[in-house]
Chains A and B, each alone.
Chain A
Amino acid sequence: GQSLEQPSEVTAVEGAIVQINCTYQTSGFYGLSWYQQHDGGAPTFLSYNALDGLEETGRFSSFLSRSDSYGYLLLQELQMKDSASYFCAVPHQAGTALIFGKGTTLSVSS
Chain B
Amino acid sequence: DAGITQSPRHKVTETGTPVTLRCHQTENHRYMYWYRQDPGHGLRLIHYSYGVKDTDKGEVSDGYSVSRSKTEDFLLTLESATSSQTSVYFCAISEDRGSGNEQFFGPGTRLTVL
Contacts and interface: CB of A to CB of B under 8 A. Distances in A.
A31 B43 contact: no
A101 B44 CA distance: 9
Interface in B61-114: 90, 92, 94, 96-97, 100-108
A50 interface: yes
Chain A, interface residues (CB within 8 Å), range: 20 to 34
Given A44-B105, A95-B50, A96-B31, A101 B100 contact: no
Interface in A4-40: 30-31, 33, 35
Given A96-B50, A97-B33, A99-B59, A45 B103 contact: yes
Contact of B101 (A33, A87, A103): A33
B38 to A, nearest CB: 10
B3 interface: no
Interface in A28-61: 30-31, 33, 35, 42-45, 48, 50
Interface of B: 31, 33, 35, 40-45, 48, 50, 56, 58-59, 90, 92, 94, 96-97, 100-108
